[in-house]
Amino acid sequence: MKDEISKTNKRVVTVIPGDGIGPECVNAAMQIINAAGVNIEWEERHAGARVFKQGITSGVPADTIESIKKTRVVLKGPLETPVGFGQKSANVTLRKLFETYANIRPVREFAGVTTPYSGRGTDLVIVRENVEDLYAGIEHMQTPGVAQCLKLISRKGCEKIVRTAFEFARAEGRKTVACATKANIMKLTEGLLKKTFEEIAPEYPDIESWHVIIDNCAHQLVKKPEQYDVIVTTNMNGDIISDLTSGLVGGLGFAPTANLGNEVAIFEAVHGSAPKYAGEDVINPTAVILSGVMMLRHIEEFDAANLIENAVMVTIEEGKAATGDVVGYDKGTSTSVYTKTIIENLGRKPSKFQTRDYRPIKLPKISDEPVFVTAKSRRVIGADIFVEWPKNPEALGQSLDKIAETSDFRLKMISNRGTKVYPAGDAFPDCVDHFRCRFVLRDANADASSQQIMDLLARISASHTWMHVEKLQEIDGQPGYTMAQGED
C-alpha cells in the first residue's frame, strides 16, 4: 500500500476527534502540527459514542474504515464505550481490524510537573502486545456461577512484539530491553513470550536483555523506575503497568500512545473521554499532542516532531501555562491558551530536556500464513472433560471411574479451579460446580483419535453435563498441557 497523497500534494491523515474532551485535545494537536508547517491534510472521520447511538454496534462506521485503509495513519481522540448498548469498545475494534499488534507507551519525566519521582530521570517505554491474550475477549459462562476467559498467546504474536521492542529500542538509541511475564505460573502462555524473547534476543547483541516476573517488574517500577529502558510484555500486563508508569510522571494527561501494525498506525491518548469537562476549555491536551509527535516520527517528519516536542517541553518546564490537572482546575491554564503558548514556543529548546536522535523503526516482516510453528511429532494421549457437578468430587470420581472402566481411557484425576480433588489428597478445597476431569489412554504409547474421545463423551453425557473438552497433546515429546496442583 502506498501513502495517501492529496491533490494538493499533502500527506493525508485520518483524524477521529473522539468523544467528550477528545475534540478539544485533537484540535489542539492539529493546530500545533499545522503551525509547525507539516504538509498534512486532515480527513475527519468518526467512531465511538455517536456511532454507537446510530445503531452501528461496532462503533466504527464503514466510511471511517475506508478512510483508514486509504491513509494508513490515524490521529485519534479518546472514545467512549457506552454501557448498555454497542459491543466491544471501538478502540479495541480499530486495533483488531487493522492488526495494530504493538502498543507503544513512552514515559519520560517532565521538568515542571512535580511528582514523588521528580529528579529520578524516569525515561522508559512499555511495548505491549495489543491484539491477543485475554483481550481476545473469548469468554463463556461454564455454569451459572463459573465464567471462563481464554488466554490465547501465539508464537507469531510473541515474535512480532519481541522484534518490535528490539527494533524500537534501536530506533530510539536505547540500550536495554526487559521482558516481563508471569511465566512462573502460566508456563505455557506467558512462558511462550519468555521463550520467544530468549530465542530472539541474541540477534540484537548491541542491546542488553533480561527477563523479569511481571509482579516484580511492577514493584521495581515503583521502587526504581530509572533502571528500565524498554519493557516488552503481554496485553493485559502491559495495560496495567503502562498506566502505572504514566503515574510516575504526572498521569494519563501526559501519556502518548502509538498502536503500530505493518499496514496501519493509530496514535492516541489513552486517557478517557472525561465528559464532565467536555467543552469547558480546561483539559490537558499534552497526551494527544505528544501522540501527534509520535505520528510525525512514524511518517518520518523528524524535524517537525522535534520542533513540537521541544516547544511542549519548554512550555511545561517554564510552568507559565500549567493545566488544571497539574495545578488545580480552578487556577489552571485553559486548553486554548496552553495550545497558543506551545505554538509561540515553536523554535525554542528546553534547558532540562534533550531530544533523542530518532531513526525510522523497522517493523518485523513475518509470514502471514496461519501455521507459524510446525511440530516434528504430535500425539493425543487423552482429554480433559469439564463437567458440571453439584455434589462432592468423591461421588463424581466414583461415577466416572465406573463409566470409563470399559473404555479406552482411565480417569487420572479430577481438579477444581486447578487443584486436584480426586483421588483425595491433602488439599482442603472449597469446590465450585466446575470440575476438570482428566482422562488418559490406558495404552500409554497409543494416539487417541477424535472418535475415541467422542465415544467417551457419549458415555459421560448419558449421566453428566459437560461444558467443553481439551485434548491432551504431546508436542515434540513434551506435554502440551499443565498439571493440576497436587497432580503427579
The answer to whether 416 and 431 are in contact (CB under 8 A) is yes
Percent of the chain with pLDDT strictly greater than 70: 97
Q: Which three cell numbers stand for residue 212?
A: 523479569
**E strand map for 319-418:** 378-388, 409-416
DSSP-assigned beta bridge partners for residue 193: none
Instruction: Express each pLDDT in 267-316 by its tens digit.
Output: 999 898 999 999 999 999 999 999 999 999 999 999 999 999 999 999 99
CA–CA dist 330, 238 (Å, integer): 34
By DSSP bridging, strand 434-441 and strand 465-475 are: unpaired
Would you give the distance in Å from CA 82 to the centre of its chain? 21
Residue type for position 101: Y
Instruction: Express each pLDDT in 312-356 by its tens digit.
Output: 999 999 987 788 888 888 788 999 999 999 999 999 999 988 888
- With a cut of 50, say whether residue 86 has pLDDT above it: no
The answer to whether 225 and 120 are in contact (CB under 8 A) is yes
The answer to whether 310 and 353 are in contact (CB under 8 A) is yes
- The highest-level CATH class for domain 1-107+255-355 is alpha beta
pLDDT confidence of residue 323: 86
The answer to whether 74 and 99 are in contact (CB under 8 A) is no
DSSP-assigned beta bridge partners for residue 16: 76
For residues 445-452, give the mean pLDDT: 96
Which of 135, 228, 277, 422 is labelled catalytic? Answer: 135
- With a cut of 60, say whether residue 258 has pLDDT above it: yes
pLDDT confidence of residue 149: 96
Say whether 114-249 and 1-107+255-355 share the same fold. yes
CA–CA dist 248, 255 (Å, integer): 11
From the number of C-beta atoms within 10 Å of its C-beta (0-12, 13-18, 19+), residue 250 rates as buried
The answer to whether 218 and 162 are in contact (CB under 8 A) is no
Split at pLDDT 50, 70, 90, the class of 49 is confident
Instruction: Express each pLDDT in 59-75 by its tens digit.
Output: 899 999 999 999 999 99
- For the chain, report the end-to-end CA distance as a whole number of angstroms: 54
CA–CA dist 461, 324 (Å, integer): 63
From the number of C-beta atoms within 10 Å of its C-beta (0-12, 13-18, 19+), residue 25 rates as buried
Spans of all domains in the chain: 1-107+255-355, 114-249, 378-479
Instruction: Express each pLDDT in 220-254 by its tens digit.
Output: 999 999 999 999 999 999 999 999 999 999 999 99
Span 114-249 CATH architecture: 3-Layer(aba) Sandwich (3.40)
The rounded radius of gyration (Å) of the Cα atoms in the chain is: 26
By DSSP bridging, strand 176-181 and strand 208-213 are: parallel
Which of 239, 325, 384, 408 is labelled catalytic? Answer: 239
Cell 503497568 found at:
241
Q: Name the strand (E) or helix (H) holding 482.
A: none
For residues 466-484, give the mean pLDDT: 96
The answer to whether 381 and 461 are in contact (CB under 8 A) is no
Which of 96, 187, 204, 215 is labelled catalytic? Answer: 215
| 3-class DSSP state of 167 | helix
pTM over 0.85: yes
Question: Which residue in 112, 111, 131, 132 sits closest to 121, CA to CA?
Answer: 111
Question: Which residue in 299, 318, 266 sits closest to 112, CA to CA?
Answer: 318
Which of 76, 156, 160, 182 is labelled catalytic? Answer: 182
For residues 12-24, give the mean pLDDT: 96
Is 229 catalytic? The answer is: no
From the number of C-beta atoms within 10 Å of its C-beta (0-12, 13-18, 19+), residue 103 rates as buried
CA–CA dist 316, 312 (Å, integer): 6
CA–CA dist 417, 434 (Å, integer): 8
Split at pLDDT 50, 70, 90, the class of 478 is very high
pLDDT confidence of residue 99: 93
- With a cut of 80, say whether residue 417 has pLDDT above it: yes
Its sign, for the CA torsion 268, 274, 275, 279, is negative
Instruction: Express each pLDDT in 147-161 by its tens digit.
Output: 999 999 999 999 999
- With a cut of 50, say whether residue 453 has pLDDT above it: yes
Query: Taking phi first (over 0 means left), then psi (-120 to 50 degrees means alpha), and beta for anything else, what does residue 20 get?
Result: left
Is 182 catalytic? The answer is: yes
pLDDT confidence of residue 218: 98
- The highest-level CATH class for domain 378-479 is alpha beta
CA–CA dist 167, 94 (Å, integer): 24
Instruction: Express each pLDDT in 91-104 by its tens digit.
Output: 888 988 999 999 99
Is 243 catalytic? The answer is: no
From the number of C-beta atoms within 10 Å of its C-beta (0-12, 13-18, 19+), residue 378 rates as middle
**E strand map for 214-287:** 230-233, 256-260, 265-269
Mean of pLDDT over the chain: 93
Instruction: Express each pLDDT in 354-405 by its tens digit.
Output: 888 898 899 999 998 999 999 999 999 999 999 999 999 999 999 999 999 9
Question: Which residue in 220, 230, 218, 217 sits closest to 106, CA to CA?
Answer: 230
Instruction: Express each pLDDT in 205-221 by its tens digit.
Output: 999 999 999 999 999 99
Is 215 catalytic? The answer is: yes
Split at pLDDT 50, 70, 90, the class of 6 is low
